[in-house]
Amino acid sequence: MATMTDVARRAGVSVATVSHVLNDTRPVRPATRDAVRAAIEELDYTHNTLARSLVTSRTKSIGLAVSAISNPYFTEIFQGVEAGTLDNGYSLLIADPHDTPEHELRAVKLLRERRVDGMIIAPSAEPGAMLDYLRRTEAPAVFLDRLVDDRYDHPHDQVSAENETSMAQLVTHLAELGHTRIALIAGLSGLSTTTERISGYRKGLEDAGLPYVPELVVGGSSQAEGAEQATRRLLALDGRPTALVTANNAMTIGALQALRAARLAVPDHMALACFDDFSWADLFEPRLTAIAQPSRDIGAAAVRLLLDRLADPDRSPRTLRLPCSFVHRGSCGCTSTT
């Protein structure tokens, strides 16, 4: 691991100057500051913000890098992670990657600087820089919710919900109710959850003997605003859909806003089913038919995988898929069973 002396040598400055840049304890000329920062990046130097004695010992802390912690789904994941860490005598540090590669790398570096023993990360759609950093620093990490796809060769454990079969279940249920034009509002492009749920949508159509119609799949960017715009586009089609599937809870809200603005009632004018159950889905009228992900279990499983990795760094990487539940209510257009 690079030292402050290595950084000073690479930047052509004194160790004291490096310290001033890192700790912002004295003004440093911009050119000198840039040279120091460049050396830090090149050497993957990690500034020790804790006591030096912690460098060679465990800190009994775990870092969690998850975006949109206010989202009910990620809040429940956080609760599972927090319970798992506390039960095992660990503390938890949290950083928000903002779902962008730049912030993701910054968040992971920040957690590493805090000398966490390992990290649990919900990766972005382009995690290459973060993966390179983990590889160079040999930082233990587990990925949760979104899996890193085959474009990247990595040695990390992963855990997520079973997305494809669960999405197919929603589509086949709507098809069994007589719907032949079933639309999907998909999530942020590049995420494994988005890819897998689109695959599940297509599988559901195939199982029901229905054709795949590209114009019925519209991206909602995993956000309410994007889903509201996507729903308006679907409603403007010459042959608009009679049923709608949303690929996460935030996009369900956006779709409902667009349907209300168009004065279309669920399920009388549009059947609706959603991926992601959430606490108030049972309070809507009609109540929302949904796929419920095992959010807390995903968080708890990520902690177990990470602790196993810390205990045995050479063990083969594992990928866990946890089953979801179909919650049958009234928004699909048939009698609720819950």
Angstrom distance (rounded) from CA 33 to CA 21: 6
Angstrom distance (rounded) from CA 7 to CA 175: 62
Task: Write out the two tokens for 50.
Answer: 């804790």
pLDDT at 57: 61
pLDDT at 164: 97
pLDDT at 71: 75
Angstrom distance (rounded) from CA 42 to CA 244: 49
228-235 long-range contacts (CB < 8 A, ≥24 apart) are: 228/254, 228/255, 228/257, 228/258, 229/254, 229/258, 230/185, 230/254, 230/255, 231/185, 231/255, 231/258, 231/259, 232/258, 232/262, 234/183, 234/185, 235/262, 235/264
pLDDT at 1: 64
What strand order describes the sheet that includes 325-327?
Answer: 217-219, 182-186, 243-246, 271-275, 289-292, 325-327
Domain covering 163-294, topology: Rossmann fold (3.40.50)
Q: Mean pLDDT, 10 residues at a time, over the chain (338 residues)?
A: 82 85 78 88 69 55 87 87 94 93 94 94 94 92 92 92 97 97 96 96 98 97 96 97 96 96 96 88 81 96 96 93 95 76
- For the chain, the structural domain boundaries read 4-43, 60-160+295-322, 163-294
* Terminal Cα-to-Cα distance of the chain (whole angstroms): 56
pLDDT at 150: 78
Two domains, one topology: 60-160+295-322 and 163-294: yes
Backbone angles phi, psi at 87, to 5 degrees: -60, -25
Backbone angles phi, psi at 219, to 5 degrees: -75, 135
Give the side-chain half-sphere CA count within 13 A for 36: 24
pLDDT at 338: 53
* Class of the CATH-defined domain 60-160+295-322: alpha beta
pLDDT at 70: 64
pLDDT at 220: 97
pLDDT at 272: 97
Angstrom distance (rounded) from CA 331 to CA 271: 6
Task: Write out the two tokens for 125.
Answer: 């759609």
